[in-house]
Each structure stands twice: as C-alpha cells, then as structure tokens.
Chains A and B, each alone.
Chain A
Amino acid sequence: MKITQRALAGTVESSDCMVMLLPAEELSIEIDSIVKQQYGHVIEKLVRDMLKKFDVTAGLVKIQDQGALDCVIEARVETALRRAGKEAKA
C-alpha cells in the first residue's frame, strides 16, 4: 500500500523524534539523527519493520531523531501511519 496523504507525529524535543510521511512512488527513508553514525542502521530497521507491519510499500518517510529510544521511535512512526489512515495488519 502507498502513503497517499501527508502525516506528521512527534516533536523535536530531546529524547523524541519527529516523523513525516509523504506520498511517493517508491519507498524511501531519510534519517536525520544526532546518533546517526552509531545507530542510523538500527533506526532504519525499526522504521522498515513498522512499515512492513502496516503493509506500506511506497512513500517517503522522514525521521528527525533527537536520541529517542526504540519504543519512542516506534510510537511516533505508528502515530504518523495511523494519521495517514493506515492500520496494522491483523
């Protein structure tokens, strides 16, 4: 399924992350993080797993991370996906 509407979740406060979803023909993930060098690949895997859970195959996902824990990143991605009208696969 494609992202067909813009959605935003989270903040740029410390320990939080802001997630922006935008319509696009292909799936791509952009990560801007204060810990990208060490944890960029971990963040990308978390995001890809969430997108898979919600059956998202196309769209642009922008992550602005301020050192959020995994459970926070997952929460913000899920909130953005739900705001974009997506539901997790049963």
Chain B
Amino acid sequence: MTIQKSTTHKGLLTAVMMLSFTYVSAQPSTYAGPQSVLIKNGLVKTITQGDLPNTDVYIVNGIIQGIGQELSAPGNIPVIDATGKVVMPGIIDAHSHLNTVSTNEATSPVTAEITIKESIDPNDVAMYHALAGGVTTINLMHGSANVIGARNATLKLRYGADQFGLQFQEAPQTIKFALGENPTRVHGQGTGVQPRTRMGVERVIRDIFDDAIEYDRQRQAYLDQKEAHERRPNRVAPPVPVAMNLRLEVISDILKGNILVHCHSYRADEIVMLVNVFKEYGVENYTFQHANEAFKVAPELAEAGANASVFSDWWAYKFEVYYSTAYNAAILHENGVNTSINSDSNELIRHLNHEAAKVVRYGGISADDALAMITINPAKQLGIDDMVGSLEVGKHGDISIWSADPLSIYAVNEMTLVDGQVLFNREADVADARLDRAISYDQSFKDLQSEVSEAVRGRQDDACMEDAFILFESGLQTEQTHNH
C-alpha cells in the first residue's frame, strides 16, 4: 500500500521536473485589471441610498454603470446570480498593517520623510484572507512608535498585483501621528530624547510644524531667487541653495491640507490637545485612531470636524487604554462624529462585519449606520468616498456578496470583487491561497504550518502593557511587532 503513495510522490516530482520550469499553478485568481460583470437580482445595500431588493449592479471596466432591475449586458459579460444574497460595497479598513515589509522606523520621533508606499509586500497571503472577509480597501499604516510616523498607503486588495498596482492611486496621501505611551516609551524612555511625556509629544509636534513653516519660507525664497538668477544672471545674484528637505516638505504639506492626518491616540486629554494644536495651525479633516476615550470629548470632536476610527470592544491591553467602553463608537456617532470601525489586526480584518454588528448590539445604532462604519465612513476618513464606500453609479466596482445580512453572526461572505473582478469566490476557494511567487522553495512544511497558525490565531493575547512594544533587544533594534 505504502509503495503506491510513494510512487505517487515520485511520479509527481518526475512530472514536475519534466515540465522544465513551468509552474503548476494552484493559486487563486489574481488581479488582471478592471473587469466588466453583471450582478443579478440581489438585495443591494447601497449604504448611501438605502436597500434595493431584487436589484442588479452592472460594472463596466471596473466602474459601476448601472444599478436597477432587469439590467442587461452583452453576452460576453459574465453574470453573477445574487438571488437570495446581499450585495454591499467592499469593506474598508481605516487602520491596518496587513502587508507591510516593516511597520515602524522607531529611531526618530518624527519620520514624515518615510512612506509605507516603499514598504509594501505584494506577496502576502493576508490580503487574500482579508478579501475572504469582504475587505477591498485598507489604510496600510506606519506603526505608532513615533509622534509623527511615515506616510501611509491606501491600498486596494488587488491580490496578485505588484507593489505599485496595489496602491489606490487616486487616494489622497495620509500620514500617521501617535500620542501617548508608545512614542514616549520608545523615545523618552528608550533613548532619552524628547518626548518623555505627553507634554513633550505636543512640543515635538509644535516644533516640527514651526520648522516646516520656516523651511517653506526659506526654500521658496531660494527657488524664487534661483529662477530670477537664471532668467537674468547678470542682474540677480545667485542665491545660497536651500536643500530640499523631504521631512519638512511633508510636514508643510500637512499644514497646507494636502495630507490627511490619522493619529493614534487613547486619552481624552491628548485628543483635545491635538484638536487645539491643529486648530492653531489650521490643520483640518483629520482622524483619531483607536481613540478609546474619544466618547468623553465627542462634542468637541464633532465641532472640530474630526473623525474617529475605533475598535468596537477592544481595550485594556495597556495602561493608557484601561478606560474605555463598547459604547464608544455609538456615542461618537450620536454626537455627529464620522466614525469607523477598524481592525488593526490581520485576524479582525476578516470579520469586520461582526465588529460593526457589535456597535448595534452595544450602542443600539441602526444596522445601516453600523454598515456605514465599515464602508462609507472610513472612505470619508481616507478621502476616497467619491470613489468607493457605497454602491452608486460612477463608483468603483468594489463589492462583497453575502449569504445573509452581513451583520448576522451566520452571514458568510461568498464573493469579493475589486474593480469588477472576482478575487475571492467561496465556491472556488483554494486550500492554499499563496501566490505562486510567494512560495518558498526551501521552507519546511512544519515551518509553514507554524506561520499559518500564527497568522490565524486570533487576537493577540499578549496585547497588554507588560510586554507591549518591545523595541530594542540586546542593543540592536529588531523588527518591531506593532502593538496598537
């Protein structure tokens, strides 16, 4: 008996070797560019225009061209029968570190010159896992080690695309800020540089803002005189060059409103501090991430036009986040703060529908408002609500199709489309969804099993302050585990 099994293996190897460098592909469908498709007869949750029963959604070249009944398409356009299913926009996660190569550059309190767009791993199977949960867009963020971290990358989960193809090119630039324990622990306690306290955090922000204003003035004066000198070299003296400063250029863009701030925060006092600083410097349209005490200052946030992106019921993993409530999102929402529910976790991202449902369970908000918290609300926070986050003609064909109401514990995401292409189909789900190019030729089966086990083990059970955010080990910086 066993000989037959062995023969099978050897036969397999021999067959593969005979193919001579051809791949035996078992990967799922990979992104091939915008597609056309007709989704028929589903319960369409538009998010912005109510629920439409027995409705079709027609996507042409990745863009929604029609929403209505009895829509037709040319014969060559694939049709998805959504009878009995719920069709909704793809979920948007406003806080993720899903597929970063590195998450934290924790050696400087301000690292605005860095961009996560240069730290995207396009081969991570975690993207497929997120697609399976109906997620189509994420805010791929820098960690919270620095007061001002790197610029983030808004990604579409175009599984199989390269690091450039994953980027949501039309999305505005966002950047990570962080208040409280993480930056003070890393820099103040870790290396003895400012900030050591929350007061220091504010000082760091004000100082770099002031530096950027002065830099902007000097740089512009230099460029103006340089241009004048080049135009009239005999009449205008050459200027002393002022080098382009990437860090201050980015800060200057924040002050000019070209970059949206997403700020890691917990306590009400630090949240109000940043609101006041931003008001003073004219920074608008920003989002507080985590913001577990934001409910205490919800009216102030609403007045400032600030957004909040929070967990539904996750706290007490370190000292500054012991005080929170599962009513946080609901209170913020009721006070008029645009609020989203995020994952900040490669596991939570796979069931953000459940996280949204908890806001209904605890806070008693409407189901529609809860779904908005994982679709159009995060889209607004990322500045992409004119393209995604709801099902409307002219928006992107980013869609998830559910077996039942997505807020039901029994609902299962059956299909996820990005730009009109089906990138997750539960019926055609593969056991090993890794991309061919992500397969290691020398990784053992045992090591892969450990890796998978780590990836799907659920919430981090060590999310507490004792062993949170271990930054430096044996004097050498190691790759840091992001810890909220």
- The yes or no verdict on A and B being binding partners is no
